[in-house]
Chains A and B, each alone.
Chain A
Amino acid sequence: MLFFILRRFLIAIPVMFLIIAMAFFMMRIAPGGPFTSERKLSPEVEANMLAAYDLDKPLHIQFIKYVNGVLHGDFGPSYKYKDFSVNELIAIGAPVSIRIGLLAMFFAFAVGVPLGTLAALNQNSAIDYSVMGLAMTGITIPNFVVAPLLTLFFGVYWHLLPVAGWNDGAWNHMILPVFALSLPYIAYISRLTRGGMIEVLRSNYVRTARAKGLSEFVVVRRHAMRAGLMPLVSFIAPATAGIVSGSLVIEQIFGLPGIGGYFIKAALNRDYTLVMGVVILYAGLIITLNIVADVVYAVLDPKIKLGRA
């Protein structure tokens, strides 16, 4: 197991390098630069600015310098948020996004799995159709509709919860964003759970478990659930990476200081280093969580042995 994890992380190094290289050069292919703005800077000023950030050097030199910095844990200065390094920006924003994201994922799991199981146990009944109808609604109604509605009702009309803001992570400020963020995931998770469980509940070994006279709860919980949740594992890994790297919509609407906005704003601003920082963070999360998913598979299914292959 340890060998497997180590090996996977070693393989991740060249993958990471490729991602960095591709993102770096693709950003530079895009027209414009960090200091291109509507009001044209004088050539001297622009040249000075470029020189200050080493942007006047040949591209391959810039790349080597950048990679060297990354290897030393320095993601460079932000070109747009003056006086902030990319490290500082991520250190401020990431904890917020990660906290909201993990809570939302946990909530989605805690609600989605029982809902999906309930639907599978009552396949093609009213319960099944209402759960799946809700799930479909959760998937189709976008965040930017749900979030303002939640704010309107819980914040403005009923005064139950704060409308927006982070307030150093006070729990009542997190409820609405976490809920809004988790809705589509509840939908996906309950649909995946339903599909997996329906298949397993028809299997011969679940029939054997029932023939033993075990209670329905034990049959489902002990004999069916593990295999029924297998399809979820491969969904949850990349989904978690996505959710913790922030949601632009949710963070904008609820005014949260997360990193969700960086990706898009930085790309539009040609804030090269910030884009790179966020890309590396996201890629690292995806790679790590996929390794976690493989380990979880092995834990869930004794037939899977994590070997050298």
Chain B
Amino acid sequence: MSAVLSVKDLTVRFSTPEGEVKAVSNVTLEVNKGECLGIVGESGSGKSQLFIAIMGLLADNGTVEGSAKFGDTELLNIPAKQLNKIRGERMAMIFQDPMTCLTPHIKISRQLTEVLVKHKGMSETDARQRALEILDLVRIPEAAKRMDLYPHEFSGGMRQRVMIAMGLLCEPELLIADEPSTALDVTVQAQILDILNDLKNDLGTAIVMITHDLGVVAGICDRVAVMYAGEFAETGSVQNIFYDPQHPYTKGLLRSMPRLDQLTDENLYTIPGQPPNLQRLPEGCKFQERCVYALDECLVDDPALTSIGEGRQKACHRKGFDSQGELIT
């Protein structure tokens, strides 16, 4: 399989008045053609910033190091002019927060057609036709009537679908979807996931799904990377991660998911504590303060992400958990 995107040792830093913050540290990953990689983690774990950096869209106070290759082309720290040949056309990103991500004073139709005119050299008429098709595809009701409205005349869910449509316009080779379905009700969400699945299977689009909805991950992803405090805690196939989690954090995430098949009167499990402040990370393992399995060495030594077979990796000093979910000592 050929890697559409290969990221190596990517680190994102922000300089703030309170000092430097490392939002993403030494992340290495690959996404292949026709594959969907899920990135899960709590808010502030760096999952969005990782891909915003790859798209060359970091805020002014952010810097990125390492390497991110799209095919053979290095993406990091290249001039915007070169990056613009790839982003928007061959690599697209669907942003979260659709309420603020569309330009308020430009009609929806124009915001879609400008991409096609720029990258595909389409005429305004052809681009309009294509935009309409895509809006129909993402289930905007009466798209032909609505496409000449302004963003504020759309509901949150419809704006979200416009964002998705925007990402699909040029049928990119790599689609980065940052919480694409959070503002949608479950039926539309299922439809959108179907569209993304078709894209993946029919066109071989590589998809990165950034989410904290584990249901979405189970529905579309092939592999999953669990992020914590800017690092990968565990990576593996969806099967592995869901049925045989080896990192205490992954285990905690899964336990804190409500389940229909195990109705009890108990309160839903929550991982104790808060995600760490990236400016004052704990010594040793970054999860150690919240980890119920922490060892003495976890307090001083930050475990590296290491391979544990079956194409899986984890960053934990513990041996892991057996098939019953019990700790291996």
Q: Which residues in A have some Cβ–Cβ distance to B below 8 Å?
A: 123, 202-216, 218, 222-223, 226-227, 300-303
Contacts and interface: CB of A to CB of B under 8 A. Distances in A.
Contacts of A123: 60
A211 B97 contact: no
B114 A204 contact: no
4 closest A-B pairs (Cβ-Cβ)?
A: A213-B88, A212-B88, A213-B84, A204-B100
A208 B102 contact: yes
Contacts of B81: 215
B95 A301 contact: no
Contact of B101 (A205, A215, A300, A301): A205
Interface stretch (B37-45, B103-111, B217-225, B311-319): B103-111
Given A213-B84, A215-B84, A227 B57 contact: no
Given A213-B85, A213-B86, A213-B87, A302 B104 contact: yes
Nearest to A300: B105
Contacts of A202: 59-60
A205 B101 CA distance: 4
B175 to A, nearest CB: 12
Contacts, number: 80
B146 interface: no
A205 B95 CA distance: 10
B207 to A, nearest CB: 16
Nearest to A206: B103
A303 B106 contact: no
- Interface size of B as a range: 20 to 34
Contact of A214 (B60, B92, B101, B118): B118
B105 A301 contact: yes
Interface in B69-112: 80-81, 83-89, 92-93, 95, 97, 100-106
27 contacts: A204-B95, A204-B97, A204-B100, A204-B101, A207-B95, A208-B101, A208-B103, A209-B103, A210-B80, A211-B92, A212-B114, A212-B166, A213-B84, A213-B89, A213-B115, A214-B84, A214-B88, A214-B114, A216-B80, A222-B106, A223-B106, A300-B105, A301-B104, A301-B105, A302-B104, A302-B150, A303-B104
B105 A211 contact: no
Interface string B47-61: 000001001110110
A218 B88 CA distance: 14
A203 B100 contact: yes
A209 B166 CA distance: 11
Contact of B88 (A211, A216, A222): A211
Contacts of A208: 95, 101-103, 163, 166
Nearest to A209: B103
B96 to A, nearest CB: 9
Nearest to A222: B106
B8 interface: no
A39 B103 CA distance: 70
B57 A207 contact: yes
A223 B103 contact: yes
B241 to A, nearest CB: 29
B251 interface: no
A291 B33 CA distance: 58
B139 interface: no
A203 B102 CA distance: 10
B118 A211 contact: no
A22 to B, nearest CB: 40
A300 to B, nearest CB: 7
A271 to B, nearest CB: 48
Nearest to A224: B103
Contacts of B83: 213
Nearest to B55: A211
B170 to A, nearest CB: 9
Contacts of A300: 105
Contacts of A211: 55, 57, 87-88, 92-93, 95
A227 B151 CA distance: 14
Nearest to A225: B105
Given A205-B102, A208-B101, A213 B60 contact: no
B290 interface: no
B152 interface: yes
Contacts of B60: 123, 202
Contacts of B59: 202
Contacts of B130: none
Contact of B105 (A210, A212, A227): A227
B119 interface: yes
Contacts of A218: 114, 118
Given A211-B93, A212-B115, A216-B80, A205 B57 contact: no
Given A204-B101, A222-B106, 4 more contacts: A207-B52, A211-B57, A211-B87, A222-B103
Contacts of A212: 87-88, 114-115, 118, 166
B101 A207 contact: yes
Contact of A205 (B93, B104, B115): B104
A303 B152 contact: yes
Instruction: Output the residue of B52, B80, B83 with the most chain A CB within 10 A.
Output: B80
A125 to B, nearest CB: 10
